Structure 1
Amino acid sequence: MTAPIRVLVCDDQELIRTGLATIINAQDDLEVVGECGDGQAAVDLGRRLRPDVVVMDVRMPVLDGIEATRRLAGAGVAHPARVLVLTTFNLDEYVYEALRAGASGFLLKDAPPTQLLHGIRTVAAGTALLDPKVTRQLVGRYAARIRPAGNSPDDTPLTPRELEVLRLVAEGLSNREIAEALHLSPETVKTFVSRILTKLSLRDRVQAVVYAYRHGLVS
């Protein structure tokens, strides 16, 4: 049998933390290996337990979830964790900061349990989880902030077709939606996405989204 996905649950509210753990542990393929109520404990446990996925609240004492995510999954971390950020706040600011910190996914706490479980499995599999609607909100409101001065589409080593695929990824389209838009097979799109990530040394689609904003590929 395949070993269950090991999950660390981090939330400062015990009732929510217990509820999350109960939902997760009820699944045959998931196992909660640790719980904590502040960001520093999340960092300490994450480094010690090496879970497959860290479910991280944003607002926590001692160290907030964004900074805890940065310390577990940010640039330069030797063994970056896969972090699924949960928050009650549907604000672009949190999405933006979570992505910049290295999060692999973002969900609202009022999402149904099935969506949470899908999110954990998706992130554990190495696939980014980002709601297309939330992605599109980022485009209009934070594109200027995310894009440092001096970067342009000419800075990228991608081919015209790869740039086309990356732009659609940045707009929040799934592989199937990109395939339909470009009249390609989903398998071909998957190959393009993999090639883009490799060329740009990016970990996942979330990082690809941020890259696209930084280099002016979306407007």
Structure 2
Amino acid sequence: MPTHVMSPPIDVAVHAADPVSRAGAVELIRHQPDVEVKSRGDASVGVLLVESLDEEILATLRRLVRNGTRVVLVARGLREAELLTVVECGVSAILWRHEATGERLSRVVRSAHRGDGDLPPDLLGRLLERLGELQRSASQGTAAPATGLTPREVDVLRLVAEGLETREIATKMAYSERTVKSVLHDLMTRQLLRNRAHAVAYALREGYI
């Protein structure tokens, strides 16, 4: 009979200036079967809890991303300028503090670990609206770029911008999940984009979507 091989748990490190907040987040996810909380050292996913954004928090975010960590930002709220900043810094997912149950947080961690990313629906709408405004302002009097993204890449990014996950994009476009991941990986590598949110921001600013 075939043997079912369990995937190794996802290494997660929780970062917070307030030790009480950190302990609370650790308690939320430490009982999840596919998550292993690391007290020190490198982890594939970092959960960064913030009350508000400042230069120290942004420096921590950038450091984690440079080290190859996929960062889940757990925040009480973000202004539009802050949203653009954390996307440009390379955040992989954002979760509101009031929505951070153990199940929800672990789901976002898994999504970030897969490279799918995750944004609250209201935040995704604000991001698209704001980036659209920036793109329209920047493109006044200029022609659309002649090179950059292929039509297939644009189609995939449109669906990413709508909040669809890899599986849903594959179904909608009649591709395999591997093909969708390959399309996204190729364009992000070529354009030096950090993650899917950054790719959507790039596509909006360049006038593709």
Q: TM-score range by the shorter chain?
A: 0.7 to 0.9
**Count of equivalent residues:** 200
Q: Pairwise mapping of residues 39-50 of structure 1 onto structure 2 (< 5 A)? A: 49-50=41-42
Which amino acid is the alignment partner of residue 98 of structure 1?
V
Paired residue for 1:117? Answer: 106
Please, what TM-score do these two structures have when normalized by structure 1? 0.73
| Aligned partners of 1:72 and 1:81 also within 8 Å | yes
Shift of 1:63: 5.0
Paired residue for 2:88? Answer: 100
Q: Pairwise mapping of residues 9-88 of structure 1 onto structure 2 (< 5 A)? A: 9-34=14-39, 49-59=41-51, 64-73=56-65, 77=66, 79-88=67-76
Which amino acid is the alignment partner of residue 67 of structure 1?
A
1:214 aligns with 2:194: no
CA pair 12-122 structure 1, distance change in 2 beyond 3 A: same
1:130 aligns with 2:119: yes
1:205 aligns with 2:196: yes
* In structure 1, distance between residues paired with 2:153 and 2:111: 24
Paired residue for 1:39? Answer: none
| Aligned partners of 2:47 and 2:73 also within 8 Å | yes
Backbone CA RMSD of aligned residues: 3.1
* In structure 1, distance between residues paired with 2:50 and 2:137: 25
* In structure 2, distance between residues paired with 1:179 and 1:148: 33
Which amino acid is the alignment partner of residue 123 of structure 1?
A
| Aligned partners of 1:99 and 1:207 also within 8 Å | yes
What is the SS of the residue equivalent to 1:114? Answer: helix
CA pair 3-80 structure 1, distance change in 2 beyond 3 A: same
When structure 1 is superposed on structure 2, of 196-205 and 110-119 the one drifting more is 196-205
Q: Residue by residue, what CA displacement relative to the aligned partner does 1:25-45 show, whole Å, maximum 9, x if unpaired? A: 2123322222xxxxxxxxxx6
* In structure 1, distance between residues paired with 2:169 and 2:84: 23
1:165 aligns with 2:153: no
Please, what TM-score do these two structures have when normalized by structure 2? 0.76
Structure 2 gap segments, 5+ residues each:
1-5
Taking only the aligned residue pairs, the percentage that are identical comes to 32
What is the SS of the residue equivalent to 2:145? Answer: helix
Shift of 1:11: 2.1
CA pair 57-65 structure 1, distance change in 2 beyond 3 A: farther
Shift of 1:61: 9.3
Shift of 1:180: 6.3
Which amino acid is the alignment partner of residue 123 of structure 2?
V
Which amino acid is the alignment partner of residue 128 of structure 1?
G
Structure 1 gap segments, 5+ residues each:
35-44
